[in-house]
Amino acid sequence: MLLCMLLGGVTAVDAVSWPQAMISRPVVSATLGGAVLGEPLAGLTVGAILELLALRHLPMGTASYPDTGPAGVVAGASAAVSVGPAGLAAATLAGWAIGWMGSRTVGWLRSLNAWLVAGPSVQELAARPARLERRHRWAVALDVARGGVLVGALLVPAAALSTIMPDVRGAPAEVAVVGGLIGALAAGAGAGGGALSSRGREVLLVALGAVGMIVLRTLV
């Protein structure tokens, strides 16, 4: 739990505050979360789905986006203890929900940051630069704490949800569960592609890529 909370803090601070090396992306954070419990592959699987869902949410202007660092850690760890596709689906859903909850806490942190560095009068801060430096570092430390607390609070419920899901392997429900997961990742990927393209016809490149992979899979 402590290791997951530490990972949560490190991945949370990476997203915005420091150093933005993208270990907060689900591909990395979920793999790390799964690896803590010995299942990096399960972590990456859920991280891949979350990554495609998050692809269209670009941090530009006032757009909101999910807090994928702590969410990925929780999702990856939950996937590591899950059984079968239903557990994987629950871990993914938990990760997605936690990502948006985390986004709300980022808003709170920004309000706190405004008090820290924009609250005191400019003249006051400018007269004592060491005070500004201290407050800036405190803001970074608070972001780490935020991520750790988020993981600490939500890891157990998310993991519990993943473990209580029925094992539907070999059952008729497996088709629905797997179909839903694949549909979600495909729709998320397509939505991400649409958001990335600047001209309408460019989305046909998505079809080109899909056909190319189908051909490759058929030949190999």
User: Which of positions 145-164 make contact with another protein (CB under 8 A)?
Assistant: none
Choices 4-12, 66-74, 83-91, 145-153; region in contact with another protein by CB under 8 A: 83-91
Q: What does 35-84 look like in DSSP terms, one character per residue?
A: HHTT-HHHHHHHHHHHHHHHTT----TT-----HHHHHHHHHHHHHH--H
The span from the CA of 111 to the CA of 128, in Å, is 22
Binds another protein by CB under 8 A, chosen from 9, 85, 102, 148 = 85
For position 81 contacting another protein by CB under 8 A, the verdict is no
Query: What are the backbone angles phi and psi of residue 21, rounded to the nearest 5°?
Result: -90, 5
Binding segment for another protein (CB under 8 A), chosen from 1-9, 66-74, 151-159, 172-180, is 172-180
Interface with another protein in residues 87-146 (CB under 8 A): 88-90, 92-93, 96, 110-111, 113-114, 116-118, 122-123, 125-127, 129, 132-133, 135-137, 139-140, 143
Q: Which of 71, 127, 126, 78 is closest to 102 using CA atoms?
A: 71
Which range binds another protein by CB under 8 A, 3-11, 66-74, 150-158, 184-192? 184-192
Tell me the Ramachandran region of residue 170: left when phi exceeds 0, alpha when psi lies from -120 to 50, beta otherwise: left
Binding to another protein in span 188-217, by CB under 8 A:
188-198, 200, 202-203, 205-214, 217
What is the DSSP-derived secondary structure letter of residue 220? -
Residue 165 in 3-state DSSP?
Answer: coil
Min separation Cβ 188 and another protein, Å: 4
- How many residues line the site for another protein (CB under 8 A)? 105
Q: At what angle do helices 40-54 and 173-196 cross, to 10 degrees?
A: 50
**Residue 56 makes contact with another protein by CB under 8 A:** yes
Please identify, using beta-carbon distances, which residue of 8 and 72 lies nearer to another protein: 72
